[in-house]
Chain A
């Protein structure tokens, strides 16, 4: 049986936090450049120039793309034949987050309790961790730093089957138009359709981990992604101060649901759509 020591996991996660915070993924960078070419608003062009230049400075100088280095979300795929030794996996991941945020000069933005004390944990832990057990003996880690300017603008709608495709489009557009200039557009829009209320929300997050140049494997959902992107770019929101580049992509993930339901969740990500990946 293959084994991995938790120390290795801690070290990798620490590195992944810094990578995500400093280096904008290439697909997002290219989409911004493409947006700049087609943007019709002169003010929008100025904003996009700043955003593109910003990501170049961050990459060249190892600096956080944004001061909100987010809450850390981790998607794990643990091979069922893998043995993790040397300690507690969750603790090892959080130790990695603490190390990465401290060594990397990232902002610590997590409070231990949400309502009464709101005391900062001072090391950005705990991370939110989703674990899936899969066949094989590998450990796949996907990490994202999720800023809350955009997170606060997400939403969920429990539609009924009769609402259909039109209902889904309307639900997504309502959430986006309500978010407007606030989530630092151009946005990347994650949509989760189906499952239960919580599952739809999870799927909308998961959708943001996919490359923005990659469409859903199901042709109907792929077409819906394209259609929604076209509609969002007609809202006028643009890159914060109006224009035609409101979103860079719409990524949909879907799952089986109940005969009576059609949950739709939207997670909005800003242009600082940051993630890093490892297979150990």
Chain B
């Protein structure tokens, strides 16, 4: 594997476009967590012509619903959730300027098309590595939709958050590339 690439947020389109499927990265800065319910609320707000609670331009979204934090901790266990469930909302969200998505699992062709158009990178965090990932989160602040509990829209301050580029802005898919050499059926 090649060297680990360090990324700081916000993520500019030109930097996102340089990343390649299979690259190992460490992300530092602020990323925003949202999952099913928050995506539904946000895309409905956009459809009504309303403004969103944050400016998504050049930001990274993390598909996450953490466990409650133990007293004294910023966050509980916080691994990625299945990104595919967000696919229906994703093209609309990418039009808002999002440049990175962190989740797990494959994406729909419409999402990959929108990623190519907008210069977006999809990162995978290791599914189920939730206690390990929590070590890289320094602060968790709910920004909007607190009524959604663990599904609220929140800001996470992260330091060296470990992830791997799975789909780059040219549409190369590491789920495909990574499996091929070992497929012997």
Interface residues in chain A, defined as those with a beta carbon under 8 Å from any beta carbon in chain B = 40-44, 46-47, 50-51, 53-55, 57-58, 61, 63-69, 105-109, 120, 147, 149, 152, 173, 180-182, 184, 231, 234-238, 240-244, 270-272
Q: Shortest beta-carbon distance, B153 to chain A, in Å?
A: 16
7 A-B contacts (beta carbon < 8 Å): A41-B178, A46-B24, A149-B105, A184-B128, A238-B178, A240-B124, A244-B182
Asked whether B67 lies within 8 Å of A149 as measured between CB atoms, the reply is no
With A241-B178, A242-B174, A242-B178 already in contact, the answer to whether A54 and B132 are too (CB < 8 A) is yes
Contact partner of A184 (CB less than 8 A), chosen from B24, B78, B104, B183, is B104
Q: Are B185 and A181 in contact (CB under 8 A)?
A: no
A67 touches B65 (CB 8 A): yes
Given A149-B82, A182-B82: A40 touches B182 (CB 8 Å cut-off):
yes
Docked complex Cα distance between A234 and B65 (Å): 33
Specify which chain A residues have a CB less than 8 angstroms from the CB of B65 in the assembled complex.
67-68, 107, 109
- Contact present for A181 and B130 (CB under 8 Å): no
B79, B149, B182: which has the most chain A beta carbons within 10 Å? B182
- Answer yes or no: B68 CB below 8 A from chain A CBs: yes
Name which of A40, A236, A243 has the most chain B CB atoms within 10 A of its CB.
Answer: A236
Contact A241/B132 with A66-B79, A107-B67, A180-B106 known, Cβ cut-off 8 Å:
no
Mark out the residues of chain B between 34 and 83 whose CB falls within 8 Å of any chain A CB in the assembled complex.
64-70, 76-79, 81-82
Asked if residues B131 and A63 are in contact (CB atoms below 8 Å), the reply is: yes
A interface SS class = loop
Closest chain A CB from B78 CB (angstroms): 5
Decide if B126 touches A51 in the complex (CB within 8 Å).
yes
Asked if A182 meets B105 with Cβ closer than 8 Å, knowing A43-B1, A105-B68, the reply is yes
Question: Which of A53, A180, A182 has the most CB atoms of chain B within a 10 A radius of its CB?
Answer: A182
Q: What residue in chain A is nearest B182 (Cβ atoms)?
A: A236
**Which A residues touch B130, using CB under 8 A?**
54, 64-67
Contacts of A271 in B (CB 8 A): 128
- CB-defined contacts of A237 to chain B, threshold 8 Å: 179
Contacts A64-B76, A67-B77, A68-B79 aside, 16 further interface pairs with beta carbons under 8 A come to A46-B1, A54-B128, A54-B129, A64-B130, A65-B77, A67-B66, A67-B67, A67-B79, A181-B179, A182-B82, A182-B104, A184-B128, A234-B183, A241-B124, A242-B179, A270-B128
